[in-house]
């Protein structure tokens, strides 16, 4: 049976389906096929039927043509379905198989969402990976190739998580998949594959690493070169790479050399920070395992300082730039270097000639380094700097003092500097605020947070009240003190109705409730009344906290207030609070104003 | 109940979300009260919800293998996360207090027993269940409406063929969509879905050539359905007392949903059967507007490959249980077999699980068809029928999996090949990337479950590998 002839017929049938069977009458191309079909039909009756059907179609009237075309197509389709080829031509290769021991036992409802997350885009995919990690459902043979493909995902968190968490979970089973997928000319995903393979195979893949380092894409070269830092014998090759054209390659080579830390490596890194690569080399130099390099840089820095002091013009600018690089290289330096770094910093920070406007960034780098040392002598030097150089370093000085001295000593030393509008006073306030907000951030809880009582001198609160720093006063108020309370009450009463002021008032009221000030309930009621005049549409979280802190004695007044509210939801919510306060057990109410809030929160969760 | 496992609880959950939510309730310590009766047949407790009152939930194991879930929450999902959470709490080793059975549950148990007794009594009283009476005039009316519907469909198809697929524009497609809706009044939802499928194919964006190929295939199918459907319905209209067609899938293709009672009536219920699931997948059938959870099962005695199809219409999908991979052997006293070949759809009402063992795997391997030539002949004979299932699934024995160029092939003992190229399901599970990871042993002298597909354009008959069955395990290449 000539399959080709039938395929030709199929083409014509297809053409007529697209063009419309109305065109079939007397179709020339179809007519050409009929005699051949008939000839074949002599030995195969089914072909004969095809020929007849084709003739029927050509001779059919327009309105009958579609019926005839469908008949022909049905018959032809049936014949062709019995002729499907199953043999493939070519040489067969056996499949080696692998030593992977994974099963395929994870069920559809667990595996499918994971595979979908790995093969599509959109949100919620990372969460799916977390879930798969949690119930170990990623440990399935079918997930393995998809997970390794996920290393190419464009949403960085996904490949990060796969690389760090999921793939290591497979152990050595992942090796054949990674090897198969690895493309030395690929991108970021392939550099991840290279790293993962190296983690599993170690030195046995050094040849591959070298190949990637020499002939891979830039991304792969950089990754491979960085990994070669684990092999001291690769030093000559790595040294060569530092003169590569591509910046990524040179950077990787610097990192690798920093890991090796041999004399040659140190020499090259030292050269690098004095060459046009100085910016590039800073980060690798900081990580260098050999402190010899840093010691040389310190010596160099002293020379640069001298050069800066003694030169002018371009030379002077270059010396300053170099000095800045030197100092940046020392960030995060080994503790063993403290002894040599300190004298350099001392020299810099005490030198009047150095403390001028043009070296400001360098001064800051030096002061930062000094605090980073965190040694008694370093901190003492920083404290000494308090009023030197026009109080330029007062912020650093305060930070050192806060670490080194007792709270009362800190207060005695610095409280005076906070008065006035000088640059130093502003700088000091900024430092103080940043320390406080750092401390408060570590605390969990609601809006109303306070600093640890023993960490600060109690007199600070008064200073802040005098300077009208409401936010700080709130964070420093631990108990009911007349002077502070008066200040807070004045804040709660006055001020305009801007959003800032309103938020501040809420905070102040929260503080007053916290220190159980007797006027707090009345103040809150006044504040609510005022708020209601402008229309009360929504009760925010803080206001909820406040209302639920009301004592039982105010229930009646609160109820009256609530019933006057026009907004149904607001009215309902306040009344609900009223009921809860009424229902609360007597002792919690008497004991503390916030006790009831705790109690309500318990009920709500 | 003593032996319930986490996997078992997972299998009871209606979907993956419910599993997670149930577990989360345990993690968040949302059960202030966890109790168990002395005879360990009832777990009950209280679970914190968003309201004032906690939900009271219980799981009753009085009938082994058929737990009864009760919960006071208003969720429409069944079983709800609270009852699942109760079970997770139990399997995760949370302490349960021993307590007496709450009176309301004792009450409900009693009522259930009475219901059961009443049912048994009525069944015993009548002997055989009464033969369902058919209202002849209503039936004829319905058949006439069906015939009318097929008439509309035929007119549309013929018109479309006459004017050609090339001239199909957005407006014509719109008209066709209206016709699809109109067919909704003619009791032929199956034929209606086939037309919707055609509309979906023709409105697909992208490669026109492949759209035409699929469109033509679908037209041929529709044409066949109209012709066969018409002659069958005309015959029934003339002789309404004739039995329904059960030799082919025609009734179902026209849109009949077989009821179990009907299948029993036509003698399509089989006693004592053991089935082992070999493959599973869930897909979306857009034309019919439903999710389909499809499972392929081997009858452990005779080797027939059956399918199960759990249909979840989009609108009700949330409250219908999403099926999952089943690893255990199902034993059922009554297996209902729908009309159709070679992979007839099956269902069972009551079934019990038993752990699968190596003997079962060996049995499956022994049941696999040894000769590709025979299988191919059977497949071709089937798929040449325009209304046949174009993707038959077969259990075959292979000697080796090999490669020719980029194509994987299966080879039988007589050296006959079957190309493994078709990716009919689940593009995310590409067998080409999984096969090389298997053990050498898994690729020699094993059995495979394969789905066939004839590709019109290339004229090749190829298979998708669904599972490989060895002496020790099933390697599932789908789910």
pLDDT digits (tens, 9 = 90+) for B139-190: 889 999 999 999 999 999 999 998 888 888 888 889 889 989 998 889 999 9
**Pick from B154, B162, B144, B40: which is nearest to B97 by CA?**
B40
Residues of A in contact with B454 (CB under 8 A): 81, 84
The whole-chain average pLDDT of chain B stands at 88
Q: Is B20 part of the contact surface with chain A (CB cutoff 8 Å)?
A: yes
pLDDT under 50: residue ranges of chain A: 587-593, 605
Q: Please state, in angstroms and rounded to a whole number, the distance separating the CA atoms of residues B246 and B340.
A: 8
Question: Residue A282 phi/psi, 5° resolution?
Answer: -55, -55
Integer angstrom CA distances of residue B227 from A51, A70, A375, B148, B222: 22, 11, 96, 13, 9
**Residue contact A96–B436, C-beta within 8 A:** yes
Could you state, in order of their start, the residue ranges of all structural domains in chain A? 3-81, 112-287, 482-604
According to the model, what pLDDT value does residue B349 have?
86
- Return the closest-CA partner of residue B188 out of B288, B310, B284: B288
Contact in structure between B71 and B85 (CB atoms under 8 Å): no
Strands (DSSP E) found in B329-457? 329-337, 346-348, 351-354, 393-404, 407-411, 417-420, 444-455
Chain A residues in contact with B433 (beta carbon < 8 A): 145, 177, 180
Q: Please count the residue pairs, one from chain A and one from chain B, whose beta carbons lie less than 8 angstroms apart.
A: 201
* pLDDT attached to residue A497: 66
Q: What is the pLDDT of residue B124?
A: 63
Q: Where are the alpha helices (DSSP H) in A202-246?
A: 206-215, 218-228, 235-241
Question: Taking CB atoms and an 8 Å cutoff, what residues of chain B touch A20?
Answer: 161-164, 166-167
Residues 6+ apart with CB under 8 A from B192: B149, B180, B183, B184, B186, B255
Give pLDDT, residue B277.
Answer: 94
Which residue in the block uniquely carries the two structure tokens 């099962």?
Answer: B297
Query: Does position B129 have pLDDT exceeding 50, yes or no?
Result: yes
Distance from CA of B231 to the nearest CA of A (A): 16
Mutation target among A84, A85, A134 for the B interface, most CBs of B within 10 A: A84
Per the CB < 8 Å rule, is A23 touching B479?
Answer: no
Q: Are A8 and A78 in contact (CB under 8 A)?
A: no
Among A63-67, A585-589, B119-123, B258-262, the minimum mean pLDDT is found in: A585-589
Mark which residues 418-447 of A lie under 8 Å from B by CB: none
SS3 A564: helix
Q: How far is A5 from chain B (nearest CA, A)?
A: 13
- Residue pair B71/B57 in contact (Cβ under 8 Å)? The answer is yes
**Predicted local distance difference test score (pLDDT) of residue B371:** 92
Specify the pLDDT at position B392: 94
What does the pLDDT read at residue B18? Answer: 87
For residue A229, give Cα distances in angstroms to A183, A218, A242, A446.
Answer: 22, 17, 13, 49
Q: Least CA distance to A7: which residue of chain B? A: B459
Check residue B17 and give its pLDDT.
83
Contacts of B416 in chain A (CB under 8 A): 86
pLDDT beyond 60 at B130: no
Contact A83 B280 (CB under 8 A): no
Inform me whether the C-beta atom of residue A566 falls under 8 Å from chain B C-beta atoms: no
In 3D space, the residue among A209, A251, A208, A249 whose CA is nearest the CA of residue A230 turns out to be A209
User: Do the Cβ atoms of A87 and B417 come within 8 Å?
Assistant: yes
How far, rounded to the nearest angstrom, does the alpha carbon of residue B69 sit from its chain's CA centroid? 24
Q: How many CB atoms lie within 10 A of CB B119?
A: 10
Q: Sign of torsion, CA A226 A230 A231 A232?
A: positive
Q: How far is CA B397 from CA A96, B394, B425, in A?
A: 20, 10, 22
Judged against a pLDDT cut of 60, whether residue B120 lies above it is answered with yes
Domain A112-287 in CATH 1.25.10: yes
Q: Max Cα separation, chain A?
A: 118
Domains and CATH numbers, chain B: 6-123 (no CATH), 136-250 (no CATH), 262-356 (2.40.50), 366-476 (2.40.50)
**Across residues B222-236, what is the average pLDDT?**
93
Closest CA to B78 of B59, B103, B91, B104: B59
| pLDDT above 70 coverage of chain B, percent | 96
User: For residues A226 and A249, what is the distance between their CA atoms, to the nearest angstrom?
Assistant: 9
Q: What is the pLDDT of residue A605?
A: 44
Give the tens place of pLDDT for each residue, B360-418: 999 999 999 999 999 999 999 999 999 999 999 999 999 999 999 888 999 999 989 99
What is the interface pTM, i.e. ipTM, of the complex?
0.84
pLDDT digits (tens, 9 = 90+) for B432-478: 788 888 888 899 999 999 999 998 888 899 999 999 999 999 999 88
- Write down the pLDDT at residue B450: 94
pLDDT tens by residue, A96-109: 888 888 889 898 98
With a CB-CB cutoff of 8 Å, which residues 474-533 of chain A face chain B?
none
The pTM assigned to this predicted structure is 0.75
Residue of A nearest to B453 (CA): A84
The residue in chain A having the minimum alpha-carbon distance to the alpha carbon of residue B51 is A604
Beta-carbon contacts of A54 under 8 Å, excluding residues fewer than 6 positions away, are A9, A30, A33, A34, A37, A72
Identity of the residue in B19, B219, B404 whose CB atom sits nearest the CB atom of A88: B404
Q: Which of residues 140-179 of A touch B (CB under 8 A)?
A: 141-142, 144-146, 176-177
pLDDT the model gives residue B128: 52
Q: What is the pLDDT of residue A589?
A: 46
Kindly report, residue by residue over B51-100, the tens digit of the pLDDT.
778 899 999 888 777 788 999 888 888 889 999 999 999 988 888 888 88
Confidence at B105, pLDDT banded by 50, 70, 90: confident
Which residues on chain A are in Cβ contact (under 8 Å) with B15?
Answer: 109
Tokens 């599509």 -> residue? A120
Q: Does A95 touch chain B (CB under 8 A)?
A: yes
Chain A residue at shortest CA distance from B432: A145
Task: Measure Cα distances from B64 to A50, B42, B351 in Å.
Answer: 62, 11, 12
Give the list of residues 6+ apart from residue B319 with CB closer than 8 angstroms, or none. B14, B76, B77, B78
């Amino acid at each position: 049976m000539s399959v080709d002839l039938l395929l030709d017929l199929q083409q014509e049938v297809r053409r007529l389906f697209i063009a419309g069977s109305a065109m079939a009458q007397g179709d020339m191309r179809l007519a050409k096929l009929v005699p051949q079909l008939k000839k074949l039909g002599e030995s195969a009756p089914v072909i004969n039927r095809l020929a007849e059907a084709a003739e029927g179609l050509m001779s059919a009237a327009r309105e009958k043509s579609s019926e005839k075309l469908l008949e022909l197509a049905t018959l032809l389709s049936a014949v062709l379905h019995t002729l499907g080829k199953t043999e493939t031509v070519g040489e067969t290769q056996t499949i080696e198989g692998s030593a992977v021991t994974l099963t395929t036992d994870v069920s559809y409802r667990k595996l499918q969402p994971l595979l979908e997350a790995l093969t599509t885009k959109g949100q919620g995919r990372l969460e799916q990976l977390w879930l798969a990690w949690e119930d170990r459902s990623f440990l399935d043979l079918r997930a393995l190739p998809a997970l390794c493909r996920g290393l190419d995902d464009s949403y960085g968190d996904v490949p990060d998580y796969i690389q760090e968490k999921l793939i290591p979970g497979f152990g050595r089973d992942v090796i054949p998949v990674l090897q198969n997928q690895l493309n030395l000319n690929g991108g970021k995903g392939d550099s991840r594959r290279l790293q993962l393979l190296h983690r599993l195979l170690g030195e046995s893949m050094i040849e591959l690493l070298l190949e990637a380092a020499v002939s891979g894409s830039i991304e792969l070269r950089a990754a491979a070169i960085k990994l070669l830092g684990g092999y001291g014998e690769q030093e000559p090759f790595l040294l060569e790479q530092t003169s590569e054209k591509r910046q990524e390659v040179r950077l990787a080579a610097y990192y690798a050399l920093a890991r090796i830390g041999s004399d040659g490596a140190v020499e090259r890194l030292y050269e690098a920070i004095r060459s046009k690569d100085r910016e590039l080399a800073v980060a690798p130099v900081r990580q260098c395992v050999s402190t010899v390099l840093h010691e040389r840089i310190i010596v160099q820095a002293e020379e640069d300082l001298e050069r800066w002091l003694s030169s002018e013009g371009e030379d002077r600018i270059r010396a300053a730039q170099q000095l800045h690089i030197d100092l940046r290289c020392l960030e995060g330096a080994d503790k063993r270097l403290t002894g040599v770094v300190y004298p350099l910093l001392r020299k810099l920070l005490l030198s009047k000639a150095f403390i001028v406007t043009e070296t400001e960034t360098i001064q800051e780098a030096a002061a930062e380094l000094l605090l980073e040392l965190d040694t008694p002598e370093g901190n003492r030097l920083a404290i000494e700097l308090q009023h030197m150089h026009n109080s330029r370093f007062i912020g650093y000085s305060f930070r050192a003092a806060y670490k080194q001295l007792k709270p009362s000593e800190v207060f005695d030393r610095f409280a005076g500097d906070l008065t006035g509008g000088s640059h130093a006073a502003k700088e000091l306030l900024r430092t103080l605020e940043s320390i406080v907000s750092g401390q408060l951030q570590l605390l969990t809880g609601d809006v109303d947070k306070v600093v640890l009582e023993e960490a600060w001198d109690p007199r600070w609160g008064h200073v802040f009240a005098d300077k009208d720093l409401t936010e700080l006063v709130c964070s420093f108020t631990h108990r009911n003190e007349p002077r502070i309370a008066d200040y807070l009450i004045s804040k709660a009463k006055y001020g305009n109705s801007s959003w800032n002021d309103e938020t501040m008032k809420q905070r102040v009221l929260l503080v007053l409730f916290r220190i159980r000030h007797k006027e707090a309930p009345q103040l809150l009621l006044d504040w609510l009344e005022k708020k209601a005049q402008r229309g009360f549409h929504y009760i925010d979280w803080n206001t909820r906290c406040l209302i639920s802190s009301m004592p039982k004695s105010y229930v009646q007044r609160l109820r009256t207030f609530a019933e006057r509210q026009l907004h149904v939801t607001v009215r309902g919510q306040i009344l609900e609070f009223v009921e809860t306060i009424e229902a609360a057990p007597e002792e919690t109410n008497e004991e503390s104003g916030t006790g009831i809030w705790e109690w309500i929160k318990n009920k709500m969760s | 109940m003593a032996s319930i496992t986490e996997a078992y609880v997972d299998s009871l959950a209606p979907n993956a979300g419910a599993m997670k939510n149930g577990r989360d309730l345990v993690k968040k310590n949302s059960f202030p009260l966890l109790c168990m009766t002395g005879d360990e047949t009832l777990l009950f407790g209280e679970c914190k919800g968003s309201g004032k009152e906690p939900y009271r939930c219980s799981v009753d194991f009085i009938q082994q293998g058929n737990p009864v879930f009760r919960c006071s929450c208003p969720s429409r999902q069944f079983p709800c996360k609270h009852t699942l959470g109760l079970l997770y709490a139990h399997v995760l080793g949370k302490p349960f207090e021993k307590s007496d059975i709450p009176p309301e549950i004792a009450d409900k148990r009693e009522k259930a027993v009475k219901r059961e007794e009443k049912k048994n009594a009525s069944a015993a009283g009548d002997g055989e269940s009464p033969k369902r009476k058919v209202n002849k005039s209503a039936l004829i009316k319905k058949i006439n409406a069906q015939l009318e519907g097929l008439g509309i469909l035929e007119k549309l198809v013929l018109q479309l063929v006459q004017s050609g697929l090339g001239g199909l524009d957005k407006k014509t497609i719109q008209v066709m969509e209206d016709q699809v809706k109109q067919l909704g009044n003619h009791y032929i939802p199956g034929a209606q879905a086939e037309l919707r499928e055609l509309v979906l194919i023709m409105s697909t964006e992208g490669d026109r050539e492949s759209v035409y190929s699929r469109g033509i295939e679908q037209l041929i199918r529709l044409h066949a359905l109209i012709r066969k459907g018409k002659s069958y319905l005309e015959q029934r209209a003339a002789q309404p007392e004739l039995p329904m067609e059960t030799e082919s899938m025609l009734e179902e293709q026209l849109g009949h949903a077989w009821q179990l009672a009907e299948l029993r009536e036509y003698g399509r219920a089989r006693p004592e059967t053991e089935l082992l699931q070999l493959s599973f997948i869930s897909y979306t059938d857009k034309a019919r507007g439903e999710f389909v959870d499809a499972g392929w099962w081997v009858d452990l005695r005779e080797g027939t490959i059956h399918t199960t199809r759990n249909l979840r219409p989009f609108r009700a999908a949330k409250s219908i249980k999403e099926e999952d991979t089943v690893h255990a052997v199902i034993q059922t006293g009554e297996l209902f077999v729908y009309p159709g070949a070679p992979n007839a759809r099956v269902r069972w009402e009551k079934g019990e699980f038993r752990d699968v063992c190596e003997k079962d795997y060996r049995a499956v391997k022994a049941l696999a068809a040894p000769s590709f030539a025979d299988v191919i002949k059977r497949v071709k004979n089937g798929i040449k029928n325009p209304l046949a299932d174009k993707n038959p699934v077969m259990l075959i024995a292979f000697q080796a999996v090999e490669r020719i160029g980029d194509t994987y092939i299966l080879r039988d003992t007589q050296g006959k090949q079957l190309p493994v190229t078709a990716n009919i399901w689940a593009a995310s599970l590409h067998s080409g990337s999984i096969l090389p990871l298997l053990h050498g042993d898994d690729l020699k002298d094993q059995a495979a479950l394969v789905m066939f597909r004839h590709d019109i354009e290339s004229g090749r008959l190829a298979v998708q590998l669904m599972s490989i069955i060895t002496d020790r395990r099933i390697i599932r290449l789908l789910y």
